[in-house]
């Protein structure tokens, strides 16, 4: 049954997302004065929505482009789009590490 096959991956994705989103918002808004919290939260959410929409558009475009070019090979299209997703994660990690090092050297 397909439902059981996706249970563990979806559970892991949910746990991973939940363990990142709340601390990310807390750390991002920690230095914002309470009077500006609403505006800062709105900017944060807008940035997250734009990033999510852009990521979905890029990965979806890669998937369906590869699916069409590959004659309907879903596995190959999935591998290609997963590679793009991993590249996004590696890029985000590299930017975060550069930012972390810059902050350490600034103090």
In a domain, 32, yes or no: no
Arithmetic mean of pLDDT, 85-90: 95
Domain count, the chain: 1
pTM confidence score: 0.72
Q: Which candidate, 56, 58, 36, 38, places its Cα nearest to that of 46?
A: 38
Give the mean pLDDT of the chain: 92
> 33 in a domain, yes or no?
no
Question: What's the domain range around 93?
Answer: 2-26+38-106
Phi-psi map region of 33: left, alpha, beta (phi>0 left; psi -120 to 50 alpha)? beta
- Reply yes or no on whether the pLDDT at 46 is more than 90: yes
Residue 73 resides in a domain: yes
pLDDT at 79 over 90: yes
């Amino acid at each position: 049954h397909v439902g059981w096959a996706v249970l563990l991956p979806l559970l892991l994705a949910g746990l991973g997302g939940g363990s990142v989103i709340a601390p990310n918002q807390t750390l991002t808004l920690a230095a914002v004065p309470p009077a500006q919290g609403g505006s800062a939260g709105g900017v944060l959410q807008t940035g997250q929505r734009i990033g999510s929409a852009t990521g979905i558009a890029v990965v979806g475009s890669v998937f369906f482009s590869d699916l069409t070019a590959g004659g309907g090979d879903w596995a190959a299209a999935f591998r290609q789009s997963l590679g793009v997703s991993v590249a996004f994660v590696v890029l985000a990690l590299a930017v975060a590490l550069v930012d972390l090092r810059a902050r350490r050297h600034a103090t």
